[in-house]
Chain A
Amino acid sequence: MSTNNDQDAEFIAQMLPTFVSEAKEQLDALESLLLKLEDAPADRELLDALFRCAHTVKGSAGLFGLDHVVAFTHHLETLLDLMREDQCPWSSEISTLLLECTDEIGRLIQVGPGEPGSGGAVGRIDLVKRLQEACAGRETQGEGATSAPVSGASIIEHSEPSQGWRIEAAFGPDTFRNGLDPVALLAHLSGFGRIHNAQTDLARVPSIEDLDPESCHLRLHFDFDSTVTRERIDTAFSFVKDDCTYEVLSLGAATHKVEAVKNAFKEHETKAPSTKVAGPDTTESTKFIRVQADRLDTVINLLGELVIAGAGAEMLARQSGQAPLLEANRQISQLVEEIRNGTMQLRMVPIGETFARFRRTVRDVAASLDKDVLLEIEGGETELDKSVVERITDPLMHLVRNALDHGLETPEQRAASGKSTQGRLKLAAHHDSGNIVIRIEDDGRGIDRQRVLERAWERGLVERGVVPPDAEILALIFRPGFSTAESVTNLSGRGVGMDVVLKNIEALRGSVSVLSDQGQGTTVEVRLPLTLAIIDGFLVSVGRAKFIFPLDSVIEVIKDSAARLDDRGRGVIELRGHPLPVVDLRALYGLEGTPSERASVVVIQAGEDTYGVRVDALLGQHQTVIKPLGRMFRSLRGMAGSSILGNGEVALICDVNSLCGLAMDSTPPHTARSNSSDSSGSELVLSSTN
Chain B
Amino acid sequence: MNPLIQLPDSISVSEVTGLREQWLQAMEHQPDNTLIDARAVVDIDGAGIQLLAALAQSLAARGQTLQLLAPSATLTEALQRMGLTFATLSQSSEAVA
Instruction: Give the docked Cα–Cα distance between A461 and B23 (Å).
Output: 90
Contact of B83 among A175, A187, A198 (CB under 8 A): A198
Known A-B contacts A183-B46, A211-B20, A214-B47; the reply to A206 vs B54 at CB < 8 A is: yes
Q: Mark B1-34, 1 if CB is under 8 A from A, else 0.
A: 0000000000001001101100110010000000
Contact of B81 among A186, A208, A209 (CB under 8 A): A186
Known A-B contacts A176-B13, A214-B16; the reply to A182 vs B46 at CB < 8 A is: yes
Complex contacts, B24 vs chain A, CB 8 Å: 208-209
Interface residues of A in 214-250 (CB under 8 A from B): 214, 216-218, 220, 222
Which chain A residue shows the least CB distance to B13? A176
Contact, CB under 8 Å: A216 / B47? yes
Contact, CB under 8 Å: B82 / A206? no
Contact, CB under 8 Å: B51 / A208? yes
Complex contacts, B93 vs chain A, CB 8 Å: 202
Contact, CB under 8 Å: A213 / B46? no
Nearest Cβ on chain A to B55's Cβ, whole angstroms:
5
Instruction: Give the docked Cα–Cα distance between A182 and B58 (Å).
Output: 23
Instruction: Give the docked Cα–Cα distance between A598 and B5 (Å).
Output: 95
A647 is an interface residue with CB less than 8 A from chain B: no
Complex contacts, A195 vs chain B, CB 8 Å: 81
Instruction: Give the docked Cα–Cα distance between A528 and B47 (Å).
Output: 57
Complex contacts, A190 vs chain B, CB 8 Å: 81
Contact, CB under 8 Å: B81 / A213? no
Q: Mark A349-393, 1 if CB is under 8 A from B, else 0.
A: 000000000000000000000000000000000000000000000
A181 is an interface residue with CB less than 8 A from chain B: yes
Which chain A residue shows the least CB distance to B27? A208
B84 is an interface residue with CB less than 8 A from chain A: yes
Interface residue total, chain A, C-beta cutoff 8 A:
32
Decide if the interface of chain A is mainly helix, strand, loop or mixed. Answer: loop
Complex contacts, A181 vs chain B, CB 8 Å: 13, 45-47
Instruction: Give the docked Cα–Cα distance between A177 and B78 (Å).
Output: 20
A203 is an interface residue with CB less than 8 A from chain B: yes
A270 is an interface residue with CB less than 8 A from chain B: no
Which chain B residue shows the least CB distance to A183? B46
Instruction: Give the docked Cα–Cα distance between A171 and B45 (Å).
Output: 14
Instruction: Give the docked Cα–Cα distance between A197 and B50 (Å).
Output: 19
A199 is an interface residue with CB less than 8 A from chain B: yes
Which chain A residue shows the least CB distance to B78? A183
Contact, CB under 8 Å: B82 / A205? no
Instruction: Give the docked Cα–Cα distance between A216 and B17 (Å).
Output: 13
Known A-B contacts A198-B81, A200-B82, A213-B20; the reply to A184 vs B50 at CB < 8 A is: no
A320 is an interface residue with CB less than 8 A from chain B: no
Contact, CB under 8 Å: B58 / A209? yes
Nearest Cβ on chain B to A610's Cβ, whole angstroms:
66
Contact, CB under 8 Å: B45 / A218? no
Complex contacts, A202 vs chain B, CB 8 Å: 53, 57, 84, 89, 92-93, 96
B61 is an interface residue with CB less than 8 A from chain A: yes
Complex contacts, B89 vs chain A, CB 8 Å: 202
Contact, CB under 8 Å: B96 / A203? yes
B38 is an interface residue with CB less than 8 A from chain A: no
Complex contacts, A184 vs chain B, CB 8 Å: 45-46
A207 is an interface residue with CB less than 8 A from chain B: yes
Which chain A residue shows the least CB distance to B44? A183
Which chain B residue shows the least CB distance to A197? B83
Nearest Cβ on chain B to A196's Cβ, whole angstroms:
9
Contact, CB under 8 Å: A213 / B17? yes
Contact, CB under 8 Å: B81 / A218? no
Q: Mark B46-66, 1 if CB is under 8 A from A, else 0.
A: 110111011101100100000
Contact, CB under 8 Å: A211 / B46? no
Contact, CB under 8 Å: B57 / A213? no
Contact of B58 among A171, A175, A176, A208 (CB under 8 A): A208
Contact, CB under 8 Å: A205 / B58? no
Complex contacts, A198 vs chain B, CB 8 Å: 81-83
Complex contacts, B17 vs chain A, CB 8 Å: 213-214
Instruction: Give the docked Cα–Cα distance between A222 and B44 (Å).
Output: 20
Nearest Cβ on chain A to B73's Cβ, whole angstroms:
15
Contact, CB under 8 Å: A176 / B92? no
Instruction: Give the docked Cα–Cα distance between A445 and B57 (Å).
Output: 79
Interface residues of A (CB under 8 A from B): 171, 175-177, 179, 181-184, 186-187, 190, 195, 197-200, 202-203, 205-209, 211, 213-214, 216-218, 220, 222
Additional 16 contacts, C-beta under 8 A, given A208-B20, A213-B51, A218-B46 = A177-B13, A181-B45, A182-B82, A184-B45, A187-B81, A195-B81, A200-B82, A200-B84, A202-B96, A207-B58, A209-B24, A213-B17, A213-B19, A213-B20, A216-B47, A217-B50
- 10 residue pairs of the A-B complex, CB under 8 angstroms, read A176-B13, A198-B81, A200-B49, A200-B84, A202-B57, A203-B96, A208-B27, A213-B19, A213-B20, A218-B46
The 5 A-B residue pairs whose C-beta atoms are closest, nearest first, are A198-B83, A213-B16, A207-B58, A208-B54, A199-B83
